Amino acid sequence: MSNPFDELGLKKELVEYLSRSGRLDVFLKTYVRSVQLQVHPDKGGNADLSAAVNSAYAEINQNPGRVTGWIATMKNGTSPEYEVVLEGLVGEVERLRKVEKDHEELRRKHAEVLAGGSGVSTAPRTAPTAFARRRTPEPTEVPPRRAAPEARRPTPEPRPRAPPASAVYAGYVFMDKTPTYARGVKALKKACRTDPASAHPSIITDAVSVYRPLTFKENVEAMVKNYNTEHNPDGSARTMVKRLFLITKRWKDSCTGMAYKAKTTKFKVIPQCSDLMTIAPDFDGVYLPISYAGFDAPELNSGKRGMKYNELLTKAEIAEHEGWRTAVEGDVALLRGYRDIVFEAIRARDGRMPDKAMPFLVLQNTDFDELRALSVRDLEDDSEAYGDYYLDDYGSFLRVAHR
């Protein structure tokens, strides 16, 4: 067949950048899904065009060794059928390229901040690797990794009305989104203090009990518990929309820390990170500068031979993945249960069982030792473990409402 990238209407420069930065696989999956929402016969589209899109995507997936050659022979064009979808997705790529272009200047400024001792709150908005990316906005905004809503669903079909986030889901409440991680922690603590029956977990700091965000594992437990709760307190059946709500509604931030060692691919996962639990309410930096050696936790290495980070994973790979296992604190049964729910939910949404999902995203070769928070993304983003989190880019937390 002809060049499959040309068949998908992609531009050569874009594909070269995505391939070089390691984001091509995830981008193609998102792009093809967005295109099919327009051209699939069930959406009033063209059957031949839909088949051509699937064929080109399958050709790329089945022949990874030919990708470099295909990129080299691309015609560097696009097609009218794809332009509206591509426009929404290219915007995020262009933002990433600008971040990389300005990176050296940001490094210089950061060095000046540290040398001047002016505090961590002025940490620059850097993206040390191409895998770092901004937080996906609320559904009412234009998601950076997805096409604009009007492009994805030109002829929307009736959908079940989503329940409000403020409702209680198997004992959990989704807090309102906040402008930063630190302000989300502050709002969470305030909500817990004003709830006399709060069962939210806390820690003892300076002889005082302080409410903390849930850990990454506790977030996964909440999603699994909500899904497995099939009936309401009155005995009536819960809808699948409600059972899946915590999985499909936004990302879930945690107090689980990701400590990165500068100039390496090494990192540590800290289940209950005191730096995050006690973060200053006005902190608005991208990450917390730290001393990596000061964290007592097992060290992982995303660059080790055979390790798969920053890419989609099969069900078997997820169950054995050192990052996922560490994040759920060794609870493999919980991990497998959550994995099975995610894959089944994707099957129900897309009409077929996915081959891969749930990547574990990390930073590599950062310029400085860094501390970030580990969050779990929603289903629209393949339920990623998100370790390249920007602390200044919104906060989204679950709160325990009652036992």
β-pair type (299-301, 398-400): unpaired
- Residue 143: pLDDT band (50, 70, 90) is very low
Q: Inform me whether the pLDDT recorded for 127 exceeds 70.
A: no
Residue 29 confidence class, pLDDT cut points 50, 70, 90: confident
Return d(Cα 190, Cα 346) in angstroms, integer. Answer: 35
Kindly report each contact of residues 186-194 with a partner whose C-beta sits within 8 Å and lies 24 or more positions away, as own/partner: 186/281, 187/395, 187/397, 188/213, 188/397, 188/399, 191/399, 192/399
Query: Quick one: pLDDT at residue 91?
Result: 57
pLDDT at 82 over 70: no
Phi-psi region of 249 (alpha: psi -120 to 50; beta: other; left: phi over 0): beta
Let me know how long the chain is: 403
pLDDT of residue 37: 76
Integer CA distances (angstroms), 106 to 110, 125, 128, 232, 259, in order: 6, 8, 10, 52, 20
State the pLDDT confidence band at 141, using cuts at 50, 70 and 90.
very low
Residue 75: band (very low, low, confident or very high) from pLDDT cuts 50, 70, 90: confident
Cα of 400 vs its chain's centroid, Å: 22
Is it the case that residue 335 has pLDDT exceeding 90?
Answer: yes
CA-CA distance, 210 to 203, in Å (whole number)?
Answer: 5
Look at residue 1 in the predicted model and tell me its pLDDT.
56
At 31, list the tokens: 């792009």
What separation in angstroms does the CA of 50 have from each of 29, 285, 291? Answer: 14, 44, 52
Q: For residue 153, what pLDDT band results from cuts at 50, 70 and 90?
A: very low
The pLDDT of residue 85 is: 55
In terms of average pLDDT, the best of 9-18, 120-129, 243-252 is: 243-252
DSSP string for 141-188: S--TTS--HHHH-SSPPP-PPPPPTTSEETTEEEPPPBSSHHHHHHHH
Three-class SS of residue 47?
Answer: helix
How does residue 120 score in pLDDT terms, banded at 50, 70 and 90?
very low
pLDDT in the model for residue 99: 55
| 159 — pLDDT class (breaks 50, 70, 90) | very low
Q: How many whole angstroms separate alpha carbon 179 and alpha carbon 158?
A: 32
Q: Domain map of the chain by residue range? A: 4-101+132-152, 168-400
Mean pLDDT throughout 188-207?
88
Structure tokens at 110: 């950061």
pLDDT at residue 93, as a whole number: 53
**Alpha carbon 266 to its chain's center:** 20
**Banded model confidence at residue 105, pLDDT cuts 50, 70, 90:** low
105 burial via Cβ count (<10 Å: 0-12, 13-18, 19+):
exposed
- Of residues 359 and 17, more confidence is placed in 359
Calpha distance 129→99 (Å, rounded): 10
The arithmetic mean of pLDDT across residues 397-401, rounded, is 93
Q: pLDDT tens across 45-58, in order?
A: 777 888 888 888 88
Percent of the chain at pLDDT > 90 equals: 49
